Amino acid sequence: MNLSLPEELTGKTGLRTEEMILNVGPQHPSTHGVFRLVAKIDGETIKEAIPVMGYLHRGTEKLAENLTYTQIIPYTDRLDYLASMTNNYVFCHAVETMMGLEIPDRAEYLRVIVMELQRIASHFVWWGTYLLDIGAIGPFLYAFRDRETIIELFAELSGARLTYNYMRIGGVKWDAPPGWIDKVSEFVQYMKKELDNYHRLVSGNEIFVNRLTGVGTYSREMALDYSLSGVMLRCTGEKWDLRKDEPYSIYDRFDFDVPTSTDGDCMARYHLRLEEIVQSLRIVEQAVAQFPKDGEIMGKVPRVIRPPAGETFVRIEAPRGELGVYIASQGKDKPWRMKLRRPSFVNLQILPDLLRGENISNMIAILGSIDIVVGEVDA
Amino acid sequence: MLGFAKGLGFTLKKLTEKSVTHKYPDVPYPFPPRFRGIQHFSPEKCIVCNQCARICPTECIQLTGKSHPDPEKKGKIIDTYDINFEICILCDLCTEVCPTEAIVMTNNFELSTYSRDELFKNLKWLDDNNTNVREEN
């Protein structure tokens, strides 16, 4: 009796498989929040993957229409909760652009220092959790140890560890406490050396390199079609960084490079994020050296903030990519409409394309390399 | 397998280093002076200007005033002052707008309770919460 099945049922392996639906999340440790991925799998191959989002939707854009401009700032903290400082900045920057405000130098330097430290902290979380996702537990502890130093610096400066509410329209809330700038430069010197240990611990590991090389590859055209930004775009060779190409704040005063790679795979994204930490350390180092001895931290701002009627769109380079804010004002103390261009949300759009035809074991490796924060995806 | 061995070597080297964790809650965790814990409210300083209630992004502050008991004096004094701590996000805006520093932050952060009702803080509770008051506001 011949028991062998026809090849269209068994595929190459000789084993009969059938399609099934697998729900990953919404409560799955590797989705870093409440994100659900519905995967149609055939054996171990993903046929189709549908991201389902909205579990963390709080309606920030709609809420903002009933809040004054100052009241919106604490809400921006909670979008990308790993990079609150950049969110604070982009919103204040939008309102300041509308009102044409002058920001004092000292405030600008404080803003750049905290934003770059925030980028480093955010990439540490990515580094630790990404390696946790793909099976290495140790690096997470090292990443969070060093991130703790940054968080403590922020707590000393703003009084909070995550939701800082530090920036205000026209400047910043707090001046640097005595000795804070020295602590920052101490951290920069420490981190410059410590980063080599990160590479020693992980980057050279053969298991790790083989696990990620060539996984989740896409082309430059595809990245541009999906309007990816940040590391997701630069890993395909497109050199685009708003800090260089459209300098905002005082980024034109610093000397730094924009690291790119042409591989477009998870390994390239890993190396680019670590390289971005180096560049951010360079910026912080220069900012600390140029930090003005004294000066105001708040510009001349009217008591009630009422941007003139009209609309504006500003964008900055957040740790995850291009973060944009659109504000339409009717001259009142509340925005008529606020719209956020969230990089996590836009970068996530490529996921179904990347997962189609992949082995299921690569699913988490690819999802992790996109570096999403669900608070920002859902807003 | 050189890279793998290097990583292992690094881990081994770290074994002898001092631990970086804190022994909280056995040892209290010190927060920096600007830390934002639950508010302290001094009724004698309050001028019932309503600014804190108006700036609050989550509308968690409710207050009422009454006219001054001394008919010679103008203005109002505070009658009730409640913070719904269930929805307070400790954003620091109320202490920022207060012209008389009647509402200030403290360093008290151990706020878990058995009941949601206990999170409704009234004037007396906020007045009695006068330890570790933040100096800069």
Model confidence pLDDT, tens digit, residues A252-305: 999 999 999 988 889 999 999 999 999 999 999 999 999 988 888 888 888 888
Q: How many angstroms separate the CA atoms of A374 and A379, rounded? A: 8
Please give, rounded to a whole number of angstroms, the shortest distance from the CA of A8 to a CA of chain B.
41
Question: How confident is the model over B22-34, as pLDDT tens digits?
Answer: 898 899 888 888 8
A152 with A275, same domain: the answer is yes
Q: If you write DSSP's letter for every residue of A132-159 in order, what string do you get?
A: HHTT--HHHHHHHHHHHHHHHHHHHHHS
Which residues, in sequence order, are bridge partners of residue A172?
A167
Write down the ipTM of this complex.
0.89
Same domain, A297 and A363: yes
Measured CA to CA, the distance from residue B134 to residue B35 in angstroms comes to 8
Burial class (CB in 10 A: 0-12, 13-18, 19+), A334: middle
Do A167 and A92 touch, CB atoms closer than 8 A?
Answer: yes
Question: Does residue B92 lie within any of the structural domains?
Answer: yes
Contact B4 A163 (CB under 8 A): no
The residue among A292, A315, A246 whose CA lies nearest residue A103 is: A292
Say yes or no to pLDDT of A3 above 60: no
B91/A152 Cβ within 8 A: no
Q: Quick one: average pLDDT of A4-32?
A: 72
Looking up residue A205, the CATH number of its domain turns out to be 1.10.645.10
A144 lies in the same domain as A30: no
Domain that holds residue A42: 19-52
Query: Which of A74, A156, A201 lies nearest to residue B57, judging by beta carbons?
Result: A74
- Put simply, whether A152 touches B (Cβ < 8 Å) is yes
Question: Quick check: A228 pLDDT over 70?
Answer: yes
Is the CB of residue A195 less than 8 Å away from at least one CB of chain B? no
What is the tally of structural domains in chain A? 2
Backbone angles phi, psi at B66, to 5 degrees: -135, 160
Query: Shortest CB distance from B4 goes to which of A156, A157, A205?
Result: A205
Q: The CATH number of the domain where B101 resides is what?
A: 3.30.70.3270
Cα dihedral: A313, A316, A319, A323 (round 10): 10
Q: Is residue A330 part of a domain?
A: yes
Q: What is the pLDDT of residue A378?
A: 86
> Residues A90, A42: one domain?
no
* Separation of alpha carbons B94 and B104, rounded Å: 8
3-class secondary-structure state, position B62:
strand
Is the Cβ pair A159, B92 closer than 8 Å? yes
What Cα–Cα distance (Å) separates residue B47 from each residue in A125, B52, B75, B121?
45, 11, 7, 20
Residue A53 DSSP SS3: coil
Mean pLDDT of A332-359: 91
What pLDDT is attached to residue A324?
A: 93
